[in-house]
Structure 1
């Protein structure tokens, strides 16, 4: 420790330095004296600093720099306890433990204090963690059975692992009211080094099933400069090395599972130790059901109200249709504001909003079709259509009558030929034999009957097809345009229910 004489000299010198660089001189401790003189020495070496001339030109400044106490009497060892002084004697913080005797093993554990934000737009999460590292340094072995808890600022005197967070976008060490660091040395040389860090870490997300998605994020720890020949990382208690997730409360997520793994990071410069913490987040869908799904479904139901309004009420039906379309468009735009504008993601919520928009737009188109049919199929057109159908029926009936008449004529002709042949057979058997081959009546009777039967069946088939075609036209024709609304009152709700069943079944179970 400093003697009384040196303490007086040190106080006098630091008072001078504090006055020159504009710092208060009251209650100067030994650590403050050391810090002030370091600042003064730094300013003296920086020729561009505004206070440099005060330390190099003024007499008081020159005396301050020339005084041997500035560089000789104020050393780290003089302000440390005797035990630490003995440990630090000959200690080189730039050399790792077991420098010539294999790699040093560093055990790690995490305590998740909070997960503040999870951003789908930036695809990252922000968490506050307590990182604890343990390793053994044989140079710090001392006698006793109690550990030494040191000020966190003394970590600058020790070797510590160069651990970093791989996917970190930005991180900082908390320093209120002091830097949140802990150093504890055990008699066997084990060092416990703890930090409180807030970090923003990248997390690749698959949003195809948003908001019914599950995301798996990681926190990866690696050594920056030491490869696996110098340092080895391990989790101190396996999966139980990470704590705090069981009591963690998140706004939109629940932590379903988490586990740890040990691997190696392969780079061009070598293989480096790597620890990975995996945790699975499941999104809570209740918020989105109340915020998006229910309003969009109600808008679809609201668009069906126009089916119960008279087609003559043009302003009312147009107002409902246009209002629901515009409201649905606004809802779709609002649902995309909190999501990344990436074309590669067709999200589940986009599919549902697209379905709802299609039904709403279809209801508007339905009224346009119904109104057009009302104007087209007027009473005169319907009367003309009735005359055409009556003429068509008469024509079909005429065809059927002609077919029947021809069929009767052919039948009578066949019966006459049969009777003539029978009479000839009775009168003379030789004549029958002579006349049979060359008789025109027999030849005509034998050749005419089959074509008449073929024509009969052909006309019958045509008549039946004509009747079927006529019935089909009548079924497809809307005799009353108001029936379109009646059909829509049934088909639209049934179709929407079926599409919802398919949608929820696919995204919840596949």
Structure 2
């Protein structure tokens, strides 16, 4: 009996708590737990895959992935475990042959003052290292810059470089590719400021060959040999080259052997040929110089008595040419020879100076022909022991002065250019005039600066130059001479 009572109490304690917790649990579970009370098909949740279906594909992929990674790691470890990067391949047996390939990314700018140029290149070197051969399913391994220090790399250096900039953002711009047969490809990108000796004799019509020379720093020719792969050079002209005043005309290469203390070293030199464009210098130097020279000739059309205007124009032209010569040398190396531009500016300066001197010579010669002769000191003459009266003395002095002072008269029937003193041989044509015996001015041994004289023996065989026609001569001589100079100048320098 007691046993039955205990079983009933146990059964009641199990049934009543489940009924009390039912509503609360249902409210906590939310509406998703009340689908049993809704009429209709019950929503089916996502079917759970069997553990075997979930694990088996992932395990296979992981094993395959980690299997290749482990295999690559084992191959690299086996190669680098006993690898000595301090020794070159084939040491003591044969020289190491390094094949070089170059890709030019950017060329320029070329600095005339520093005589150097900048070049951005991707430098590739290929050689065979038997110690890096391996067997496996991998055709090649690509290693970044962190593992470059663990391999032997050729000690190539650029002989005419001044500065070299490496790219190290975000990682060093260098790469090593190792093939199954032991072939190693090493690629690095760099910007080089290299020396370029510029010969400026023909400036600004000059052409230059800027070299890029490289060789091994420590290995002689018996241990390391450089060669081009069919002279393969990639030039990426699609990039913005910074040549500015130059045009790229091509390239060439040379291979030579230089004797050093370490032995005979093989040196390979690339030459980048460039030629200067004339546009900048034509408008900045040649046109201003020519225009200034032509402007200085305006004084030939001015009157002879306009001394201030002609003098100021001549001096201004000379000073302008001096400034142009200094400006052309401002951004130019201090070389000891004369360039083509210097020669042109110098000739223009001489033309401007001669135009100024032409007026000075003209003014001097006119003054020499027109100045009065110095008269003797007038004294009151004595007549038979007595002094003449002032009126008689003055009359007699004027009579004596008329014998030595020239009367300068302008010809009424001739133009202004024909004015001036006449020669003694011409006195018969104008008997009513008084002429000076020195009317023909002896300018030099071969010139007579007056009208053509046929009188004295010293005037024969001389070139006749009329003083008052110097401007007329200059109007023709200066332009013709300058034109002929330009023809000869451009023909010579453009064909050299």
With the length of structure 1 as denominator, give the TM-score of the two structures. 0.66
Partner of 1:148: 141
Kindly indicate whether residue 476 of structure 2 is the aligned counterpart of residue 476 of structure 1: no
Partner of 1:164: 157
Equivalent residue in structure 1 for 2:86, among 66, 71, 94: 94
User: Partners in 2 of 1:304 and 1:261 — Cα distance?
Assistant: 54
Equivalent residue in structure 2 for 1:113, among 105, 111, 115: 105
Kindly indicate whether residue 487 of structure 2 is the aligned counterpart of residue 501 of structure 1: yes
Equivalent residue in structure 1 for 2:473, among 472, 477, 487: 487
In the TM superposition, residue 100 of structure 1 has moved relative to its aligned partner by: 2.8
Aligned pairs for 1:40-59 within 5 A: none
Kindly indicate whether residue 177 of structure 2 is the aligned counterpart of residue 184 of structure 1: yes
Partner of 1:440: none
387 and 361 in structure 1: CA distance in 2 versus 1, 3 angstrom threshold: closer
Kindly indicate whether residue 220 of structure 2 is the aligned counterpart of residue 227 of structure 1: yes
User: Partners in 2 of 1:296 and 1:385 — Cα distance?
Assistant: 39
Kindly indicate whether residue 278 of structure 2 is the aligned counterpart of residue 285 of structure 1: yes
CA-based RMSD: 2.6
235 and 392 in structure 1: CA distance in 2 versus 1, 3 angstrom threshold: farther
Partner of 1:274: 267
Q: Which moved more, 1:299-308 or 1:376-385?
A: 376-385
Contact conserved, 1:105 with 1:135, CA < 8 A, in 2?
yes
Contact conserved, 1:302 with 1:324, CA < 8 A, in 2?
yes
Partner of 2:209: 216
Contact conserved, 1:264 with 1:274, CA < 8 A, in 2?
yes
Summarize deviations over 1:304-343 as a string: whole Å, max 9, x none. 1111111222222122111111111111001012221121
In the TM superposition, residue 107 of structure 1 has moved relative to its aligned partner by: 0.6
Residue correspondences, number: 358
Partner of 2:307: 314
The list of structure 1 runs, each at least 4 consecutive aligned residues, that deviate by more than 6 angstroms after superposition, is: 391-394
Q: Which moved more, 1:142-151 or 1:246-255?
A: 246-255
381 and 146 in structure 1: CA distance in 2 versus 1, 3 angstrom threshold: farther
Partner of 1:83: 75
* Unaligned stretches of 5+ residues in structure 2: 1-69, 372-405, 410-419, 431-452
User: Partners in 1 of 2:195 and 2:423 — Cα distance?
Assistant: 76
Summarize deviations over 1:70-89 as a string: whole Å, max 9, x none. xxxxxxxx9x9333212101
Partner of 2:374: none
Contact conserved, 1:235 with 1:275, CA < 8 A, in 2?
no
* Unaligned stretches of 5+ residues in structure 1: 1-77, 395-463
In the TM superposition, residue 148 of structure 1 has moved relative to its aligned partner by: 1.1
Partner of 1:347: 339
Aligned pairs for 1:54-453 within 5 A: 81-143=73-135, 144-238=137-231, 240-244=232-236, 248=241, 250-343=243-336, 345-378=337-370, 380=406, 382=408, 385-386=421-422, 388-390=424-426
SS in 2 for 1:258: strand
373 and 141 in structure 1: CA distance in 2 versus 1, 3 angstrom threshold: same
User: Partners in 2 of 1:271 and 1:387 — Cα distance?
Assistant: 86
300 and 385 in structure 1: CA distance in 2 versus 1, 3 angstrom threshold: closer
In the TM superposition, residue 171 of structure 1 has moved relative to its aligned partner by: 1.2
SS in 2 for 1:222: strand
In the TM superposition, residue 382 of structure 1 has moved relative to its aligned partner by: 5.0
User: Partners in 1 of 2:481 and 2:472 — Cα distance?
Assistant: 15
In the TM superposition, residue 243 of structure 1 has moved relative to its aligned partner by: 2.6
SS in 2 for 1:377: helix
Structure (1 or 2) with the greater helix fraction: 1
Contact conserved, 2:425 with 2:454, CA < 8 A, in 1?
no
Contact conserved, 1:245 with 1:255, CA < 8 A, in 2?
no
State the structure with more CA Rg. 2
Contact conserved, 2:110 with 2:118, CA < 8 A, in 1?
yes
